């Protein structure tokens, strides 16, 4: 047995990842990591009497390349005489419909598929091919997103599935670097496929992997993996201690209603800062509320002050640290709307006490604004509340309406859509005024204009624009 297989076997046995005779679902993408994991587990399975099932999820994100991945996995499964469960989904469509990033949509669908397959196969353990380099990438990814100690401690060797807590995810390769996996694959002539999207700079994880980490290893810390692992281990141990301590405190907080008056005098503010934050975070997550740092700090510093966390829901904490939810009775959203057909070259519409003038110019016509002159025209148009859009991207119909729950908008200069509610807050638009503002959607249903905000990034005038919509709002 090679050193690689011995270390894999030791990791599995010492951490009790897979029991003898257990049935395992192995997640196999067709890439280097998962093909090495499959080979290693298959080689060790005879000695440990493991029963293996392969699971492959085709994300349909790379066209023929995705289908080639699936073909390779099916071929290897047949060669190893292992059952394989294959499923596919249109991740891009799901991401758009669910208003998620493609990366998050892919992760959600993949985890749901794996959990569903495991349950159908009566399997309790899913083996994943995460390795040491994944841990380092995840550390920086979470660091940039402002994660706390629990998040920065990284992936665990064994953890519950995000899609089904009754199913365990195990990661037998966390001790190995990518280079070690590649060397093992070469020695054993293991076939795998490279994912070209791993080289794309569109994803933050790829930029961390391909740009940041090589720079840090070259110019700052050659032993970066070792250093980060040490930090993660320290943070993990401290986070575990804080978690246990906060559980005890939270249990006492919840018992306060039936405790004697002397015991009730316990003061939340006397707890350590870390325990205060974890107690609040735990309760928020249990209530299905996103426990971001700003919300936790606002609750921690201001007892009995309710804070809006969603449609008609506010949250506060009492002086003893217990979270309280309140349903707010707020005015309903305005459902009025008006359809505008962009027939002809100009028109005037009235909606919600305002008049909207529109004109369409073709390239070469007088009044057509060239992209290179956009900043000058935009400056002059600001006083007239006049704005310019690519008419062909907008289409033949516009709907004027008011803000509705879940609306998202991508102002010019932003890389992704944001919740309109968040944009209103950032723009300091009073809450009472938000439901009266008018917005316009293109024929596709996407918002291209919101009263009081910047124009849309996706509908701005560009060098290739052939027809231009000039849009002006005035009092009726």
Residues 416-432 pLDDT 10s: 889 998 898 888 887 76
Q: Are 284 and 315 in contact (CB under 8 A)?
A: yes
User: Is 90 exceeded by the pLDDT of residue 35?
Assistant: yes
Q: Give 52-105 pLDDT, tens digit per residue.
A: 999 999 998 888 999 999 999 999 999 999 999 999 999 989 888 887 788 888
Which residue would you say has higher pLDDT here, 371 or 367? 367
pLDDT computed for residue 280 by the predictor: 92
How many percent of the chain have pLDDT more than 70?
89
The number of beta carbons lying within 10 Å of the beta carbon of residue 259 is 12
Q: DSSP per residue over 290-332, as a string? A: ---HHHHHHHHHSTT--EEEETTEEEEE-TTS-EEEEE---PP
pLDDT computed for residue 375 by the predictor: 38
pLDDT computed for residue 205 by the predictor: 85
CA 299 to chain centre: 25
Spatial separation of the C-alpha atoms in residues 52 and 144, rounded to whole Å: 38
Q: Give 15-28 pLDDT, tens digit per residue.
A: 999 999 999 999 99
pLDDT computed for residue 149 by the predictor: 86
Determine which of 134-143, 157-166, 201-210, 377-386 has the lowest per-residue pLDDT on average. 377-386
pLDDT computed for residue 140 by the predictor: 93
Mean pLDDT of 201-224: 89
| Tokens of residue 26, six digits | 């192995």
Burial pattern 293-307, b for ≥16 Cβ within 10 A else e, equals eebbebbbeeeeebe
Spatial separation of the C-alpha atoms in residues 371 and 363, rounded to whole Å: 11
Determine which of 11-25, 202-216, 370-384 has the lowest per-residue pLDDT on average. 370-384
Mean pLDDT of 397-409: 88
Task: Give the position of tokens 């009726």.
Answer: 476
**How confident is residue 370, by pLDDT bands cut at 50, 70 and 90?**
low
User: Is 90 exceeded by the pLDDT of residue 11?
Assistant: yes
User: Is 50 exceeded by the pLDDT of residue 6?
Assistant: yes
| Tokens of residue 167, six digits | 């199913």
pLDDT computed for residue 224 by the predictor: 92
Spatial separation of the C-alpha atoms in residues 160 and 126, rounded to whole Å: 10
Spatial separation of the C-alpha atoms in residues 321 and 275, rounded to whole Å: 11
pLDDT computed for residue 288 by the predictor: 76
User: Is 90 exceeded by the pLDDT of residue 324?
Assistant: no
Work out the mean pLDDT of the chain and round it to a whole number.
Answer: 86
Mean pLDDT of 230-245: 90
Determine which of 64-68, 403-407, 410-414 has the lowest per-residue pLDDT on average. 403-407
**How confident is residue 218, by pLDDT bands cut at 50, 70 and 90?**
very high
How many percent of the chain have pLDDT more than 90?
47
């Amino acid at each position: 047995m090679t050193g690689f297989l011995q270390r894999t076997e030791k990791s599995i046995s010492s951490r009790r990842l897979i029991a003898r005779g257990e049935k395992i679902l192995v997640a196999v993408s067709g890439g280097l990591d998962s093909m090495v994991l499959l080979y290693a587990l298959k080689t060790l399975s005879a000695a440990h009497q493991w029963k293996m099932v392969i699971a492959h999820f085709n994300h349909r994100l790379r066209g023929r390349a995705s289908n080639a991945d699936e073909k390779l996995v099916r071929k290897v499964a047949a060669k190893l005489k292992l059952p394989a469960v294959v499923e596919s989904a249109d991740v891009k469509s799901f991401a758009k419909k669910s208003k998620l990033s493609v990366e998050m949509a892919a992760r959600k669908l993949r985890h749901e598929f794996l959990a569903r397959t495991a349950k159908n196969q009566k399997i309790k353990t899913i083996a994943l091919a995460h390795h040491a380099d994944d841990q380092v990438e995840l550390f920086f990814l979470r660091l940039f997103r402002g994660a706390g100690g629990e998040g920065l401690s990284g992936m665990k060797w064994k953890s519950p599935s995000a899609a089904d807590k009754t199913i365990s995810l195990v990661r037998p390769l966390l001790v190995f670097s990518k280079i070690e996996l590649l060397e093992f694959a070469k020695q054993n002539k293991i076939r795998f496929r490279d994912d070209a999207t791993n080289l794309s700079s569109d994803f933050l994880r790829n930029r961390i992997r391909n740009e940041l980490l090589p720079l840090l290893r070259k110019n700052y810390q050659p032993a970066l993996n070792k250093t980060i692992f040490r930090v993660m281990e320290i943070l993990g141990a401290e986070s575990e201690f804080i978690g246990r301590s906060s559980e005890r405190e939270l249990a006492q907080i919840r018992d306060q209603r039936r405790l004697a008056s002397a015991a009730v005098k316990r003061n939340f503010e006397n707890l350590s800062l870390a325990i205060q934050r974890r107690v609040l975070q735990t309760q928020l997550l249990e209530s299905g509320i996103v426990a971001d740092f700003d919300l936790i700090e606002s609750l921690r510093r201001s007892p009995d002050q309710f804070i809006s966390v969603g449609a008609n829901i506010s949250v506060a904490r009492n002086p003893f640290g217990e979270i309280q939810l309140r349903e707010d009775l707020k005015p309903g959203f305005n459902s009025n709307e008006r359809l505008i057909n962009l027939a002809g070259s100009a028109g005037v519409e009235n909606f919600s006490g305002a008049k909207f003038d529109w004109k369409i110019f073709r390239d070469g016509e007088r009044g057509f604004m060239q992209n290179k002159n956009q900043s000058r025209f935009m400056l002059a148009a600001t006083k007239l509340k006049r704005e310019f859009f690519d008419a062909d991207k907008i289409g033949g119909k516009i709907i004027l309406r008011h803000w509705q729950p879940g609306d998202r908008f991508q102002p010019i200069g932003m890389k992704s859509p944001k919740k309109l509610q968040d944009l209103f807050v950032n723009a300091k638009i009073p809450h009472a005024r938000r439901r009266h503002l008018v917005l316009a959607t293109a024929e596709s249903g996407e918002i291209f204009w919101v009263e009081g905000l910047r124009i849309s990034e996706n509908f701005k005038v560009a060098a290739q624009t052939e027809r231009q919509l000039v849009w002006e709002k005035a009092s009726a």
